[in-house]
Amino acid sequence: MAERSAMSVELPPALRSALQRELEGVSRKGLAERASRTSEAYRAGKGSAGVIRALEDALAYALARLPATYAACATVFAEAARLAPGFAPKTVLDAGSGPAAASWAAREAWPGLAGVTWLDASAPFLDLAGRLAADAPPVIAEAARLKADLVGGGAWPRADLVAASYALAEIPPAAQAGVVRALWAAAEGMLVLVEPGTPAGYARLLAAREALIAEGADVLAPCPHARACPLAAPDWCHFTVRLPRSRDHKLAKGAETPFEDEKFAYLVAARPGVGAAARTSRILRHPRMGKPGLELRLCGPEGLETRLVARRDKAAFPRARRAGWGDAWEG
């Protein structure tokens, strides 16, 4: 789960082409202005229902955020698949789906998917997700659509994999634990939560983690244990993934650099029956190279640890040089 400095985490070709098709004939300046207003509204705490009011709003959001959301979800799903190699979900519930980035990423991680359900309170988001999926693999193109609010909803459709990416931030704090429990009740095998890599996103996931452990969930990642998180303010658990920016993406973001580093936080919880590899320590920040060797900041089964991997260690040092922020570390 190291930072993809080679910019390898890109949208699937079919999704990239569909997004480009939706942009044909649309004013880029107008979309950039909509994207800016949308971002400001989200930062002010407004939910999608009050922000995404038309297809143009959904398209502006997708142009600005779809690549990064997809990259974060793809990175997390790849780690989930690594940790539970025997888990092969057939069905997915994409909760708070937006333009369905998580669904596309899940299909990349688990090509055997047979059924997908998009759940979102925003009709424009569901509409755009369908338009973007026109030339997608059948499991995405034929996804079921459920227009519903995560807050106050009843029992959601059950699925092997339930994913909620960048969704908890829109839910009132008092309702978040209930939403997490409802999503867990729908998860036959695994629940994956992805949030912005901010202190607030981390705090939401800490609360979700506590609720899920109380429900009997097995936390697979990023934590190597089920005890209280050993990090203390001002530190927080988050990771990063690098993705390329298209010309239109740069315009929407008001950016010049050809890449973006998306910071995200996440949680992977599984039912006890899901076979998982033994948890190992996780690298919490970029390894630091010094004359004696590489310094790794780790969260391990016994808590926080700083490990020096000496240059003279012919077995471990080459492996440490290939490791990055977010990777598991064994040894």
pLDDT of 171-183, one tens digit each? Answer: 999 999 999 999 9
Question: What domains lie within the chain, and their CATH numbers?
Answer: 13-270 (3.40.50.150), 281-329 (no CATH)
What pLDDT does residue 3 have? 42
Res 258: pLDDT? 84
- Inter-residue contact 286 to 204 (CB < 8 Å): no
- pLDDT of 7: 43
Supply the pLDDT for residue 32. 77
Query: Please, are residues 274 and 217 in contact by the beta-carbon 8 Å criterion?
Result: no
pLDDT at residue 207 in the model: 97
pLDDT, position 1: 53
Q: How far apart are CA 256 and CA 258, in angstroms?
A: 6
Question: pTM for the complete prediction?
Answer: 0.93
The residues near 148 (Cβ < 8 Å, ≥ 6 apart) are 119, 120, 121
* 229-253: pLDDT as tens digits: 999 989 999 999 999 888 877 777 7
The confidence score (pLDDT) of residue 203 equals 97
CB 195 within 8 A of CB 266: yes
The residues of the chain scoring below 70 in pLDDT are: 1-8, 44-47, 49-50
Q: How far apart are CA 328 and CA 224, in angstroms?
A: 9
Dihedral through CA 122, CA 187, CA 111, CA 272, nearest 10? 160
Q: In whole angstroms, what is the distance from residue 159 CA to residue 70 CA?
A: 20
